[in-house]
Amino acid sequence: MRHLRIGMDSLHSVPRHAAIAQALRDGIRSGAIAAGSPLPSESRLSSRYQVSRGTVRQALASLRAEGLIVGGRGRAPVVRRPDLSQSFDQLLSFSAWARQLGRTPSARTLELARRRAGAEAAEQLGLEDGTWVFEYTRLRLLDGEPVMIERTTLLESAGRLLLDCDLDGGSVYEQLGERGIEFSEAHQTIAAIAASAQDASLLSVQRRAPILEVRRRALDPVGRPLEWSRDRYRGDAFAITIHNQSALPRAGVALQAAEGLQAAGSSP
């Protein structure tokens, strides 16, 4: 970590713990102190800024309350990795979502196979048990860090096009779209689960660590199921945002409607 200086004016104009917190805060937000890296120990910080360890603890408590650092009580404070917020208001590929965040997406294909559909996939895709389908498994990465496992089943008619796609090269949705396959809507279910041994190995987390599973059934423009997917996200790397709107009519709209009815009733 680069040495972060506090000017004497700062120490005199604000409480010392606030000045130290601001210096560390600036370092975190500028990237001088990288996400995931530990901060210096309390003793090192107190020596560097020539303050008591109690003052340092106050500064660190402020940063912890703001969610900028984690740890404490015997553990070195670490700069918290920012949550990656994903909205489910629209159907968006992992690659497109990552690019919106200014991140670099990549993929590592673990399997691509043509096989007979199992009972769950067949039910979700409206197929008879044992119908031929294509299935693939990919590890998705952001800036080279593993964050999600895709396990996807596609109708055979769409899946066979994957044989001509570069699965390590980007979005399956985008590549299939270039070949005439359109995904227009999806039904998704989100659940918190414990990481299996395979999940833990691929996502670099502890076995049985909490992760998010998103089960998705994607449809084409005429409502035909095309895809059944079970995506598993690292629980410490993602936040989910969902936009909700009241089902009740707005007061202004209701008032305008009532006024319109009254006007219509009074007209000759």
Q: What is the DSSP string of 2-64?
A: ------HHHHHHS-HHHHHHHHHHHHHHHTSS-TTPBPPPHHHHHHHHT--HHHHHHHHHHHH
User: For residue 103, what are the β-bridge partners?
Assistant: none
Q: What is the pLDDT of residues 147-183, one digit of tens each?
A: 999 999 999 999 999 999 999 987 898 899 999 999 9
**Highest mean pLDDT out of 42-46, 66-70, 105-109, 195-199:** 195-199
pLDDT of the residue at 55: 92
69 or 132, higher pLDDT: 132
Chain-centre distance for alpha carbon 111? 23
Pairwise CA distance, residues 19 & 34, whole Å: 20
The answer to whether 135 and 115 are in contact (CB under 8 A) is: yes
User: For residue 193, what are the β-bridge partners?
Assistant: 211
**Highest mean pLDDT out of 75-84, 208-217, 254-263:** 208-217
Please determine, for residue 228, whether its predicted confidence score (pLDDT) is greater than 90: yes
Q: How confident is the model at residue 8 (pLDDT cuts 50, 70, 90)?
A: very low
Q: Which helix (H) or strand (E) holds 219?
A: strand 210-219
Structural domains in the chain? 8-79 (1.10.10.10), 84-241 (3.40.1410.10)
Q: What is the pLDDT of residues 130-151, one digit of tens each?
A: 999 999 999 999 888 899 999 9
Q: Which of 189, 127, 117, 177 lies closest to 152, judged by CA?
A: 117
Q: What is the pLDDT of residues 75-112, one digit of tens each?
A: 778 887 665 555 555 556 777 767 766 778 889 999 99
Pairwise CA distance, residues 74 & 44, whole Å: 15
The answer to whether 66 and 31 are in contact (CB under 8 A) is: no
The answer to whether 18 and 59 are in contact (CB under 8 A) is: yes
Q: How confident is the model at residue 249 (pLDDT cuts 50, 70, 90)?
A: low
The mean pLDDT value of the chain amounts to 81
pLDDT of the residue at 92: 63
Q: Which helix (H) or strand (E) holds 262?
A: helix 251-266
Q: How many CA atoms lie within 13 A of 225 on its CB side?
A: 19
Q: Which helix (H) or strand (E) holds 109?
A: strand 105-116
Question: Is 75 strand, coil or helix?
Answer: coil
Amino acid identity for residue 248 in this structure: L
Pairwise CA distance, residues 227 & 8, whole Å: 62
Q: Which of 158, 166, 162 lies closest to 183, judged by CA?
A: 158
Percent of the chain with pLDDT over 70: 77
255 or 147, higher pLDDT: 147
pTM over 0.85: no
pLDDT of the residue at 253: 43
Please determine, for residue 113, whether its predicted confidence score (pLDDT) is greater than 90: yes
Please determine, for residue 260, whether its predicted confidence score (pLDDT) is greater than 90: no
- Beta-carbon neighbour count of residue 7 at 10 Å? 10
Lookup: tokens for 154: 């596609």
